[in-house]
Structures are given as structure tokens and as C-alpha cells.
Amino acid sequence: MKRSETSDGHNDGHNHTKRSNTWVSYALLNSMKDKSIIVLKDELITIIKDKYPKSRHHLLVIPNKYSHLDSVEDLNANDVQLIDYMTAKAKQISQDLDPSIEFRFGFHTIPSQRPLHLHVISQDFDSKYLKTKKHYNSFTTRFFIDSKHVIENLKNTGKVDTIARQECEQLLKQDLICHFCRSKLLNMPNLRTHLLTHFPV
């Protein structure tokens, strides 16, 4: 596979060969500069509020100096420390928000935005922006990869095991199933009503 160099001419060991029609939006690069949505910023990462949150609490953790990383497929063993740090900060922020709420921390197998970003999302999925089956399934199926599994993969094999694109498409289109009780719901309005029985306001 092709390896590329960073702006200073250093070979970073990452694969930067892109799959066609995968990389949809560069908007996160601008969002990282929007002070109105920045929750935390340090030398390594920026944490922002998702502009279209899919849950009551939905944040994104973005590396500051890794714009060449687009998805988990670009990661290698050298990135364990980065992902570990991103996850630790995500957990810290979630505790600051509400320690009683269940959160998940992870990545979409095929992201809709670049660069690489870690989702910090509460499990209520109570949001006006959760409009489609794809929205819900992208966080509640194997399409969503927990960061702990990413770290384990990188430590063990130096890469992240991901599912094939065809299976990703199938997961996003599958029936709506409550991630809490596994009940099958007919449509999004039914799902939203059902989820409120598990996560009342």
C-alpha cells in the first residue's frame, strides 16, 4: 500500500489511499475553530458539540494534528497512545456532563465527515436530529466500533478490523431494533416513543 509523508517530509507510516465516494465532508475542520461549540481544547485534541446531535449528549473528539487520518482504517500501532488519550478525555467529559448517564465512545466504520473523530454519545437517542433508520443504526449496530476495541486491535495486530462495505450498507438498512430491550419497531416515530420509556426526560 502507498505510504505518504507529512508536511515536514516525515513518513508517518499511515496508508492514505482513499476509497471513492467515502469522504463526504470537511466541515469538522471549520467546526474545530468555532468557539461557540468547543468544549475542551488542548495541544492534542479538540472536543466539540456535534452540530446535529443524535442524542441528548453528543460530542466529537478530534485530533488537532492528524488531519491525514480519515477513518479507523488509517490507524496503525503508532496511534495507540492517541486513541487512548482521546478515549480518556471523552470519558472525563462524560462524567462532567452527568455521571449517571450511560455513554458509548467509538467510531463509525465509514465516517461521513473527516478527519478522524471519536463520538461521545449518550444512549437515550432522544434528539430531533435523529431522523432516519441510518442515523440510529449507525450508532447501535456493528457499524459503530467502540474505542476500546480499536485500541485492542491496534495493540494486537497494528490495524483495526473493520467490516466490509456491503455489510455496512446492510447494517444501516436493517430493521429498527431497540438497543436496550431488543424490541423491533416499525418506524422512527415508534422508535422515538419507545425509547422514552427507557430514557424518560
The residues spanned by each domain of the chain are 19-174
17 compared with 74, residue with greater pLDDT: 74
> Cis peptide leading into 115, omega within 30 of 0?
yes
20-63 tens-digit pLDDT: 344 446 789 899 999 999 999 999 999 999 999 999 999 999 99
Distance of CA 84 to the CA centre of its chain: 14
Phi, psi at 76, each rounded to 5°: -140, -175
122-164 tens-digit pLDDT: 999 999 999 999 999 999 999 999 999 999 999 999 999 999 9
Please report, for the chain, how many H helices and E strands are present, in that order.
Answer: 6, 10
pTM of the model: 0.88
Confidence of residue 179 (pLDDT cuts 50, 70, 90): very high
CATH number at 19-174: 3.30.428.10
User: At residue 99, does pLDDT exceed 50?
Assistant: yes
Confidence of residue 84 (pLDDT cuts 50, 70, 90): very high
Catalytic residue (choose from 14, 117, 194, 198): 117
Q: Is 108 a catalytic residue?
A: no
